[in-house]
Amino acid sequence: MINIVKNFQNIRSSINNSNVNIIAVSKTFSLDKIKPLVDIGHNHFGENKVQEAKKKWLNIRRDNSRLQLHMIGRLQTNKAKDAVELFDYIHSVDNEKLATALAKYENVLKKRNKYFIQVNIGNESQKSGIDINELSDFYLFCKKISLNIIGLMCIPPNDKNSKHYFSELFKLNKSFDLSQISMGMSADYLDAIECGSTFVRVGSAIFGERLAK
């Protein structure tokens, strides 16, 4: 039987930096599997589907205001209102249409969220994210519409060279004078932290193999 709390504590102890936030990626796992982490006081949890997150977290968040929910998956514009309402952080802002919708619903809902711009750091056609050559203009657009951009996010190519891409993203992040950066997952979070990550998105190393959906 997987000991989720022990897995989490082992990961926490492997990180020699108190400024790093561990996002426990709880997508596809039921609340009863996640609750042991909530019970020991962990705050940051990541989901990649709005509807699943609503069903799972809506009630428990009413009773636990310290919980911080992160939208880490691709976000469709038609889900922007629900995403703004439910999540505290959105890591996947990558186009003007989505950014405009998020800004609109922040005004409607009187809520201010924290956003990461997702960068297609490896220029991969199958992945989401803004092209590096378009990043500067897109960042300025987001600032113009008053989105609270706190950092950049990436999912590097799966080619065993993650540190190269993490270093590139860190340089980009610094060029915009952004204070946070979202990079690193179960297989490479230590490399990401070495390259300056402040938010790591860890799922299988905590919860075990993802359930098929």
CA 105 to chain centre: 20
pTM over 0.85? The answer is yes
d(CA 162, CA 53): 29
The Cα–Cα gap between 197 and 199 comes to 6
pLDDT, average across residues 19-29: 95
- E-assigned strand segments in the chain: 21-25, 44-47, 68-71, 89-93, 114-118, 149-153, 180-182, 199-202
pLDDT category, 212, cuts 50, 70, 90?
A: low
Between CA 98 and CA 103 the distance in angstroms is: 9
Residue 211 has pLDDT above 90, yes or no: no
pLDDT of residue 160 exceeding 80, the answer is no
pLDDT tens for 54-101 read: 999 999 998 899 999 999 999 999 999 999 999 999 999 999 999 999
The domain over range 4-8+20-207 is classified in CATH as 3.50.50.60: no
